[in-house]
Amino acid sequence: SRQGWRTHAILGGNHSQFYGLAQLYAGVDSFVDGGTLRQGEPESTWYVNDDRFVLDRAARLPAWDGTPTMLQFHLMSAHQLGRRETPGRPWGPAKGYYPGIPNPVDQAVNWYDNGVAQTDDMIRRLVATLNARGYLRDALVVVTAAHGEALGEHGLFTHANTVRAPVLRVPLLLMAFGEARLPALQPRRAASQIDVAPTLLTALGVRPPATWSGRSLTEPAPAGLLGFQQGPEVGLIDTRDPAGALWKYWVDTRS
């Protein structure tokens, strides 16, 4: 906003009532999520985690007029709470899974894979909408995730319950559309979610705040430590090995 950009957030799920997260969006030009749907509007009857709401609101965006704009979207299709569309479920048998509820691993994997396939389709439809509204004439697009998912590894399912690899590993795609050009990224043994924002600012010619811990992926990767935590489990990924190995250390503070 300080750089003259418009900022809009269209988020599936209930961010406005999730542990004070809404206050982080206080400065955006517009904010709507599954928890702020107004009664009387057509989508107010939708499930809070229904990604069709995100697509509908994206289609209502005004045509891009050339003003620099940041759009953030959040999709729930791959989440166990997300609404699944009945058509287009290529893998079966599939069954939803929840913490503490036994479920055959193959059915849980199929359920999750169907959600990933639906997410892919939602992203395709979202990109098509943005293109039709003119936003991809000059745009950088990032696709990433909040977390991974345990699907039976170590007897665990879902997330928010471990710092093991299936939960820590997330996708990161950086794409350029129209007149935009991707910045040259430097090889890195490991990257973190906190590196995404400085990478974008650097690509846009904006100096990242000195207080940020993340480092732009356009810069040579410094050898160092990346932190992570989930509840009582906390640890570090160490990239300082001169032989190039990644070392991961973590402890369960309960034990």
> 37-45: which pairs have CB atoms within 8 A and are 24 or more residues apart?
none
Residues 145 and 171 sit within 8 Å (Cβ to Cβ): yes
> What confidence category does residue 86 fall into, taking pLDDT thresholds of 50, 70 and 90?
confident
> What confidence category does residue 79 fall into, taking pLDDT thresholds of 50, 70 and 90?
very high
pLDDT(178) > 60: yes
Angle at 82 between CA 147 and CA 114, to 5 degrees: 80
pLDDT(239) > 60: yes
Q: What is the mean pLDDT of residues 9-23?
A: 89
Collapsing DSSP states into helix, strand and coil, what is residue 252? strand
Task: Write out the DSSP string of 61-124.
Answer: SPPP-S--EEEEEE--TTSTTS---SS---S-S-----TTS---HHHHHHHHHHHHHHHHHHHH
Please tell me the distance from the alpha carbon of residue 10 to that of residue 186, in angstroms, as a whole number: 31
39: number of CA atoms within 13 Å, CB side? 0
pTM of the model: 0.91
CB neighbourhood size of 118 (10 A): 22
Please give the order of strands across the beta sheet that includes 6-11: 30-33, 6-11, 69-74
Lookup: tokens for 218: 């356009």
